[in-house]
Chain A
């Protein structure tokens, strides 16, 4: 019985690591190439507000974060489009506002908030079936979106003004992608936590970018280097018995440094 439980938990963690690498590898490439890292940081932290509201209402905090994260992401996109506020100031405002909302709602929720640290630092070892289904479904959707709309995503990301002159549905594509960004962030919070999820969205891309500057190759290499990082990080956290989220991030950055070193030695 206990062995079966061990096995189940082993498989779940592996699946979580693979799904994280797929979703973050693909969507992270979109984020990095469009220089949206700061926007993504804003969405990440703002979604903490949704976690707090989730606790308060007694619903799954991940669901709260998903709804909140998507709304914030669409808001950032829309207001920056209207050019009413400086976009970076707006992002900083929503970034802190989300955190503040989260803290307040967790404070006024009676009793204590179980697993709060899980959302801040991640815990792939306690990942639930619901989390896995969400992350697995998102992996499938991400793969489909990038296969179906590859050329359109590429041209809109590269030059949206030009895409508009070709009557491409620029707003629609950008909205679809910002929703994908928000969901990718929120569902991966379970893996490495709010504090570190940005690493999953940027470090695999930085590794890929050392070897290619072709968008399609970047998508594939990012997923592969992400998998190498999450799986070996997971293994290391098992053997050394240290927190999984932190170990995965550490491993990814170590991989980047080694790749950079190899690259500079071999030229």
Chain B
């Protein structure tokens, strides 16, 4: 399996306060990794460090996609964790999805007919064709999340990062979305952040627990005891083939 990215003994945080420590793992071509942990545990920070949006205190993140980090970034899809209450920006659904194709070689933002066509296709895949000219501010939370998913996958990335894509969407679309991701996983690696393992456990292939300390776990089956030793107080709900383990809810939310 081709290695895409290696995280080597990374510590990171804000204003000299460490938030994550000892992150050591790699992401390979067919991976579908679930990053789990409590709120405030450092999941988003870890993702930002992997994406090069946040500088680590120590350790390093190594990309194997391209020698040049700038062109490597063009092969990444990213769905950030977003506070949807703030989105009243006058931008259309179509323009948001198409911004996933932006590149520094195309500062004038002239997109080819083929690219525009591909945007339409992604919108169709997500059931958003009808709303393509609507302004983002007028969409429901779930619809916005679909648009951001579209923006993340429209470039056909080699590796797709998703930060809590299940928030704001209804259960029906959530499982539809995970099925879609399972399909996409046939030709791209996926790194998915979630604060609960419930929905995602049957889709992911390996788990990273983040609660300040970062633990890599090479399978999608994780037990109560392991979570406790990882000090990863998350809620485990059974789904499909995963063994039935229910953790006590942690007091911190």
A and B associate: yes
Residues of A at under 8 Å CB distance from B? 33, 148-152, 154-155, 157-159, 161-169, 209, 212-215, 218
Contact B51 A154 (CB under 8 A): no
Q: Which residues of A contact B70 (CB under 8 A)?
A: 167
What are 6 inter-chain pairs, A to B, with CB distance below 8 A?
A: A149-B108, A155-B99, A162-B80, A165-B73, A166-B100, A166-B103
Q: Chain A contact residues: over half helix, strand or loop, or mixed?
A: helix
Q: In whole angstroms, what is the CA distance A217 to B138 when docked?
A: 16
Taking CB atoms, residues of chain B closer than 8 Å to A33 are: 89-90
How would you classify the secondary structure of chain B's contact residues: helix, strand, loop or mixed? Answer: mixed
Q: Work out how many contacts link A and B, with CB atoms closer than 8 A.
A: 80
Residues on the A chain within 8 Å of B74, using CB: 166-167
Given known A-B contacts A162-B80, A165-B73, A213 and B107 have beta carbons under 8 A apart: no
User: Chain B residues near A215 (CB, 8 Å)?
Assistant: 90-91, 95
A157 touches B89 (CB 8 A): yes
> Closest CB-CB distance, B62 to chain A, in whole Å?
17
**With known contacts A149-B109, A161-B53, A214–B92 Cβ distance under 8 A:** yes
Contact among A151, A212, A218 for B102, CB-based, below 8 A: A151
- How far, in whole Å, are A103 and B81 apart by their CA atoms in the complex? 47
Q: Does B189 contact A (CB under 8 A)?
A: no
* Alpha-carbon separation in the docked complex, A149 to B109 (Å): 7
Q: Does B96 lie within 8 Å of A158, measured CB to CB?
A: yes
State whether B90 touches A152 (Cβ < 8 A): no
Chain A residue nearest to B136 (CB atoms) is A158
Closest to A151 in B: B109
B78 within 8 A of A: yes
- When the two chains form their complex, are residues A158 and B73 in contact, meaning their CB atoms are under 8 A apart? no
| B141 in the interface (beta carbon within 8 A) | no
> Cβ of B89 and Cβ of A152 under 8 Å apart?
no
Closest to B98 in A: A151
**B: contact size bracket:** 20 to 34
B contact set with A: CB distance below 8 Å: 51, 53, 70-71, 73-74, 76, 78, 80, 89-92, 95-96, 98-100, 102-104, 107-111, 135, 137-138, 151
> Contact between A150 and B109 (Cβ–Cβ < 8 Å)?
yes
Which interface residue of B70, B90, B102, B103 has the most chain A CB atoms within 10 A? B90
The answer for the CA separation of A168 and B74 in the assembled complex, in Å, is 10
Interface contact A167-B90, CB-CB below 8 Å: no
* A162 pairs with B73, CB closer than 8 A: no
Minimum CB distance partner of A148 in chain B: B108
| Residue on A nearest B74 in the bound complex, by CB | A167
Contacting pair B135 A213 (CB below 8 A): yes
Tell whether A169 pairs with B107 under 8 Å between CB atoms, given A162-B99, A213-B137. Answer: yes
Provide the residues of chain A in CB contact with B73, threshold 8 Å.
Answer: 165-167
Contact for B107 among A152, A165, A212, A218, CB less than 8 A: A152
Cα A187 to Cα B126 in complex, Å, equals 47
Contact B99 A214 (CB under 8 A): no
Q: Is the CB of A214 within 8 A of B135?
A: yes
The answer to whether B108 touches A151, judged by C-beta atoms less than 8 angstroms apart, is yes
Supply 4 further A-B pairs (C-beta < 8 A) apart from A151-B110, A157-B89, A166-B99.
A152-B109, A155-B95, A159-B99, A169-B107
Bound CA span A23–B114, Å: 35
Residues of A within 8 A of B109 (CB): 149-152, 154-155
Within the assembled complex, what's the spacing in Å between the Cα atoms of A213 and B90? 5
A148, A152, A157, A167: which has the most chain B beta carbons within 10 Å? A167
Question: Closest chain A residue to B73 by CB distance?
Answer: A167
